């Protein structure tokens, strides 16, 4: 039965991943992502239900549009697989629990911002507002009103920490060092993480982003590194590994 649920969550995750790709691509352009059908980017051919089966449709169609034979961007397939994998991992880690609901929210946020930040270097405010409300509601049922208010305070604290880091970075590098979305993202982190773990997510996110930053630097590429996905990878890593802030304090005191 355990294997059945893991496979089920993977399949459900691939469908959500397909939807999250559409959200990440259309929301920054203010396009409808709820009622408008998915279509080929080249010929605008509306996809049938069979052409929208996650992962399998991409492989069966030979990575080409069935109508115009143009190559299909593999981004959606990657996100579908990535989301399915993390949905399955969420169930495996937390089973049916309130923590599973939080984990699925983290994965969903990561998948959407992975697309929007990589493609447009944008973290839409609408996404942050939606997931802020989502986590506040979940936390209210999880830890009650006082606990939720505490985490809202943690979110504001992490927002201010990130804002100060941005001001210092702007002064040191003489240009914009962080996007506004990265700063707002820390408020969402605070709705789930304790203050110490929230600060740790910034350091871990920077560590995860370092290889890409070095690659772009030495290749003389002027592209900006999208920091949001790396922050969210750190966020997910901390939550899934179940790092205890007490253990961090004890380690720092050694």
Higher pLDDT, 55 or 70: 55
Cβ-count burial 36-55 (b if 16+ within 10 Å, e if not): eebebeeeebebeeebebbb
In this prediction the pTM is 0.91
CA distance 94 to 105: 13
Q: How confident is the model at residue 248 (pLDDT cuts 50, 70, 90)?
A: confident
Is the pLDDT score of 16 beyond 80? yes
pLDDT cut 70: percent of the chain above it = 84
pLDDT in tens, 90-140: 999 999 999 999 999 999 999 999 999 999 999 999 999 999 999 999 999
Is the pLDDT score of 154 beyond 70? yes
CA distance 121 to 227: 9
Q: Which residue has the tokens 């210092």?
A: 168
Higher pLDDT, 221 or 25: 25
CB atoms inside a 10 Å sphere around CB 129? 12
Is the pLDDT score of 41 beyond 70? no
Q: To the nearest whole number, what is the mean pLDDT of the chain?
A: 87
pLDDT in tens, 165-206: 899 888 887 777 788 899 999 999 999 999 999 999 999 998
Q: What are the residue ranges spanned by the domains of the chain? A: 1-96, 124-246
Cβ-count burial 146-178 (b if 16+ within 10 Å, e if not): eebebbbebbebbbebbeebbeeeeeeeeeebb
């Amino acid at each position: 039965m355990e294997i059945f649920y893991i496979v089920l969550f993977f399949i459900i995750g691939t469908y959500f991943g397909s939807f999250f790709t559409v959200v990440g691509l259309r929301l920054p352009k203010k396009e409808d992502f709820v009622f408008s059908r998915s279509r080929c980017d080249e010929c605008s051919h509306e996809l049938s239900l069979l052409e929208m089966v996650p992962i399998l449709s991409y492989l069966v169609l030979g990575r080409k549009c069935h109508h115009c034979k143009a190559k299909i961007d593999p981004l959606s397939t990657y996100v579908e697989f990535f989301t399915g994998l993390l949905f399955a991992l969420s169930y495996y880690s937390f089973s049916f629990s309130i923590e599973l609901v939080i984990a699925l929210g983290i994965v969903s946020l990561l998948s959407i911002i992975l697309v929007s930040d990589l493609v447009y270097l944008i973290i839409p405010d609408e996404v942050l507002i939606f997931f802020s409300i989502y986590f506040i509601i979940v936390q209210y049922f999880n830890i009650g009103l006082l606990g939720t208010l505490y985490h809202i305070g943690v979110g504001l604290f992490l927002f201010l920490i990130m804002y100060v880091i941005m001001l210092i970075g702007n002064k040191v590098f003489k240009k914009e060092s962080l996007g506004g979305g990265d700063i707002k993202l820390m408020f969402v982190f605070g709705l789930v993480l304790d203050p110490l773990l929230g600060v740790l997510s910034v350091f871990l996110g920077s560590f995860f982003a370092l290889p890409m930053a070095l690659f772009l630097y030495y290749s003389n590429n002027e592209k900006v590194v999208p920091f949001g996905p790396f922050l969210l990878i750190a966020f997910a890593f901390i939550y899934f590994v179940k790092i205890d802030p007490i253990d961090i304090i004890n380690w720092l005191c050694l």
